[in-house]
Amino acid sequence: MAAHDPTLEYLTTTKIGEKGQLTVPKQFREDLGLANGSPFAVLRLGDGLILLPEQQRFERLCQQVGARLTAAGLGAEELLATLPGVRNRAYTSRYGKKSVGLNEKHRRTRRAR
């Protein structure tokens, strides 16, 4: 995958096909490592459109999250340790009751047999 390069570059002109599909120039697909079925975000900017490969957007988001966690002094173990509590709060908020952990579900299933 190509490194982030903010340079605006004219590649070619393309047309919209019968089904509303656009052809992305081969050089551009190869430079960015895009394959058939690669997802894109379509953004409108005034009278123009910006096509942003989703993989790049996801990678940038991961970099931003990682940088903030590092700046806060949180490592992977500390973050993972918070997940059960966060999951329970989200479950309680959504369903109005505490979630049952996998071990408790397993014990209940075995007792019912």
Same domain, 96 and 69: no
Q: What is the pLDDT of residue 44?
A: 86
Q: What is the pLDDT of residue 12?
A: 79
How would you write the pLDDT of the chain (113 residues) with one tens digit per residue? 455 566 777 777 888 889 998 888 888 888 888 888 888 888 888 888 888 887 766 777 788 888 888 898 888 888 888 888 888 888 888 888 766 665 555 555 555 55
Same domain, 97 and 68: no
Q: What is the pLDDT of residue 1?
A: 47
Listed residue (30, 29, 24, 3) closest to 12, CA to CA: 24
**Which amino acid does the sequence have at 4?**
H
Same domain, 43 and 15: yes
Number of domains the chain contains: 2
Listed residue (70, 40, 75, 68) closest to 55, CA to CA: 40
Domain that holds residue 36: 1-74
Same domain, 70 and 84: no
Same domain, 30 and 50: yes
Same domain, 90 and 44: no
Q: Is the pTM of this model over 0.85?
A: no
Rounded CA separation 69/45 (Å): 31
